[in-house]
Amino acid sequence: MDSVDTEVLKSAVAWLDAGHKATLATVTRTWGSAPRPVGAMLVIRDDGHVVGSVSGGCVEDDLIERVRAHQMKGGKPEVVTYGVTADQAARFGLPCGGTLQLVLESVTAESQLKELLATIERHELVARFLDMESGTVRLQSGRWSDVLEYDGKTLKSVHGPHWRLLIIGAGQTSRFLAQMAQALDYQVTVCDPREEYADEWNVPGVALVRGYPDDVVLQMNPDPHLAVVAVTHDPKLDDAALTEALKSPAFYVGALGSRLNNEKRRLRLAEFDLSADEIARLHGPVGLKIGSKTPAEIAVAIVAEMTAVRRGVKLDSIGAPAAPATPNADPFACRT
C-alpha cells in the first residue's frame, strides 16, 4: 500500500487514542480521470484536521465540512459519490469530468486499525473486510493477487507491501536500493551466499537469505508483483538469478553493469534455455539513464525505472540522457 495511506492509519489511531472522533474515507471506484487511485485513504478529525488525500483538494474540503457539520450518520458506514454531473465535476475540481466514489466510516476501537498496523509493520499482507450494514470489521491474511473489492455490502481493502523486490547481492548499492524500495512499500529480500557480504548486512526490515540465487528466485514463486535486480558484478550469481527471473512472470528484471558487460551477459544467457523474447526483457544497464555514478544515485535510477514499468510508462518516451560533462568519459562506465 501507499506509504501516505499508512500515515493515514497511524493518524487515525493516534487521534482515537487522544480522545478525538475521526472519519476514514476510502476510494472504492473512479470513472474517467482521477487524481488518486482506488484504495487511497483520507482521515478527518472531528475538528477538521486531515491526513491523506483522495482527490486534488476540493473533495477534501467538502468532506471536512461534512465532518465539522456532523453530517455523517455515525456508526453505519456510508457511500459518497462526487462528480456524477459536469457541474459537480467542475465544483469539486475533478479533471475531465471524473467521478469518485468513497466509503466513509467512523473510526472506533472495533475498526481494528491497531491490529492492521501491527500486521503491516511485520511486512505482511492483510485483507480488511468492512461490513456496510453493521460496521463490523474482520482481518485475514492477504494474498499477492488480492485487490480492493466493493459490492455495496462489503468493502475489502488490501494493506501491506503489495509489491516485492528481490536484490541479488548485499553490497553498498543494495543498501540504498533496499531502503528506497521500502519507502515505496516493497517487501524487500536480499540474497547473497557470500559470507563476506551477507555477514555485514544490517538493513532493518529486509530479509537476508544465503541460498544460491536461482534457487531463491524459484522459492519466491515469482508473480507479476515481483521485481528482481542483480547487482553483484559476479556472473555466476547474477546470471543464475536472471536465468530463472527472465522465464518468470516478474514484472521487472534488471542487472547492474555497463552496456558492454550487459551485451556479454545477453550472449551468455542465450546459451541457456532462454528465448530471444525472454532475454529482451532484461533491463541492463539497469535503471533510467540519469547519469548515475554513486550507489545512491544508481538506486534512485533503479527504483525510478521500476516505478515507470509498474505504471505502464513507455521508457523510450522519457528521453535521452544529457551529454557527459567530461569529454573523455568512458562510454562503458558502470552507470545507469
**Distance between CA atoms of 144 and 79, rounded to whole angstroms?**
27
304 and 290 Cβ atoms separated by less than 8 Å: yes
Per-residue pLDDT at 163: 87
Tell me which H or E stretch contains 152. Answer: none
Q: Record the cell numbers describing residue 277, joined without a space.
A: 523474447
CA-CA distances (angstroms) from residue 254 to 90, 214, 232, 251, 303? 43, 15, 12, 10, 11
- Which domains, from first to last, does the chain contain? 3-159 (no CATH), 163-317 (3.40.50.720)
Per-residue pLDDT at 330: 39
For 176, counting Cβ atoms within 10 Å of its Cβ (0-12 exposed, 13-18 middle, 19+ buried), the class is buried
Per-residue pLDDT at 213: 96
SS3 234: coil
Q: Is the peptide bond before 285 cis (omega within 30 degrees of 0)?
A: yes
Low-confidence residues in the chain, pLDDT < 50: 317, 319-336
CA-CA distances (angstroms) from residue 162 to 51, 189, 270, 332? 22, 14, 32, 36
What pTM did the predictor assign? Answer: 0.62
